[in-house]
């Protein structure tokens, strides 16, 4: 599928379609079963033209399994959900169960993981707050074997219907897509920014906001661990914004009749300042 938006926004990277399927695509990149990896690595690879596939055995990391829609994978974290709650917050050091798990896994994990496991990532204030975070996630177990990331230009809409479309964007492009998300909205709050892992903002949060009457876009890649993981691939200046398929089709239809073909957008993107704000 060729998209008008890519040209009007002057996107550097392809929009990525996320699909659910029971058929595994040929020649797709995939993590090895049980091998750790960041889902966002494969997302960026798809934005650069490759197809990636994930299953319940090849989702890369526990948060990634949740983000893709494979149920509550935090239960499979070393030591279970309780150890994960301490891992994301204050750490497992000083807790008998957590320290026991650390001893069991020390020869199988990186020093960086062990440091975070024992002393915590400090992303939330307490294990109890992490439990609130988990309960707030729109966790689902999709009724399909695979989740596929595919460049939108390679989608055949006669035989494929994506669940979501994800844009990798710089600030001006993000601003434009926020405006378009509200172009026909009744509420003017048609974009959300949940605290979540990078993979969860392009996956389950967007799945959950695919409402027939009021679909919402989701801003992501605000997760600094994910940002560090993709820094070598794309640098520091990108965020994601994810659209449920229905909302994507709407903004694609609206774009040629919007501000994107008017002077303010042209001046902004061509570097022309206006008035006394220049110095």
At residue 212 the predicted structure's pLDDT band, cuts being 50, 70 and 90, is confident
Structure tokens at 3: 């998209």
Cβ-based neighbour number of residue 3 at 10 Å: 20
The pLDDT assigned to 34 comes to: 86
What percentage of the chain has pLDDT greater than the value 90? Answer: 92
Rounded-to-integer distance, Cα 115 and Cα 119, Å: 6
Residue 109 has pLDDT above 60, yes or no: yes
Residue 196 has pLDDT above 90, yes or no: yes
Contact indicator for 38, 149 with CB cutoff of 8 Å: no
Distance of CA 75 to the CA centre of its chain: 21
Residue 277 has pLDDT above 60, yes or no: no
At residue 278 the predicted structure's pLDDT band, cuts being 50, 70 and 90, is very low
The pLDDT assigned to 273 comes to: 59
Residue 275 has pLDDT above 80, yes or no: no
The pLDDT assigned to 272 comes to: 58
The pLDDT assigned to 229 comes to: 96
Rounded-to-integer distance, Cα 222 and Cα 201, Å: 9
Exposed/middle/buried for residue 259 (C-beta within 10 Å: 0-12, 13-18, 19+): middle
Residue 156 has pLDDT above 90, yes or no: yes
At residue 211 the predicted structure's pLDDT band, cuts being 50, 70 and 90, is confident
DSSP letters of 13-57? S--EEEEEESSPPTT-B-PPTT----HHHHHHHHHTT--EEE-TT
Q: What integer is the mean pLDDT of 105-110?
A: 93
Residue 46 backbone dihedrals phi, psi, to 5 degrees: -70, -35
The pLDDT assigned to 271 comes to: 72
Whole-structure pTM value: 0.93
**Which residue has better confidence, 278 or 221?**
221
All structural domains of the chain with their residue ranges: 4-68+140-261, 73-136
Q: What integer is the mean pLDDT of 70-79?
A: 97
Structure tokens at 37: 């990896």
Contacts of 13 (CB under 8 A, 6+ apart): 44, 47, 48, 168, 234
Q: What integer best gives the mean pLDDT of the chain? A: 95
Contacts of 234 (CB under 8 A, 6+ apart): 13, 44, 168
């Amino acid at each position: 599928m060729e998209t008008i938006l890519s040209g009007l926004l002057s996107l550097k990277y392809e929009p990525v379609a996320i699909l659910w399927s029971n058929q595994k695509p040929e020649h797709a990149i995939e993590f090895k079963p049980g091998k750790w990896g960041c889902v966002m690595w494969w997302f960026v690879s798809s934005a650069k033209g490759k197809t990636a596939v994930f299953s319940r055995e090849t989702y890369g990391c526990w948060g990634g399994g949740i983000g893709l829609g494979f149920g509550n994978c935090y239960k499979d974290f070393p030591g279970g959900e309780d150890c994960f709650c301490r891992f994301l917050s204050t750490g497992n050091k000083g807790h008998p169960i957590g320290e026991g798990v650390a001893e069991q896994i020390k020869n199988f994990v990186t020093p960086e993981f062990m440091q975070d496991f024992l002393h915590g990532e400090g992303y939330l204030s307490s294990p109890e707050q992490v439990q609130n975070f988990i309960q707030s996630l729109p966790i689902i177990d999709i009724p399909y074997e695979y989740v596929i990331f595919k460049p939108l230009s390679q989608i055949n809409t006669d035989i494929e219907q994506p669940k979501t479309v994800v844009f990798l964007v710089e600030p001006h492009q993000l601003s434009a897509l926020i405006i378009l998300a509200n172009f026909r909205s009744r509420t003017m709050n048609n974009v959300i920014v949940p605290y979540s892992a990078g993979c969860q903002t392009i996956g389950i949060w967007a799945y959950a906001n695919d409402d027939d009457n009021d679909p919402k876009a989701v801003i992501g890649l605000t997760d600094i661990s994910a940002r560090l993981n993709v820094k070598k691939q794309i640098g520091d200046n990108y965020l994601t914004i994810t659209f449920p398929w229905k909302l994507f089709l709407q903004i694609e239809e609206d774009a040629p009749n919007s501000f994107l073909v008017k002077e303010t957008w042209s001046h902004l993107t061509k570097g022309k300042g206006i008035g006394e704000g220049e110095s």
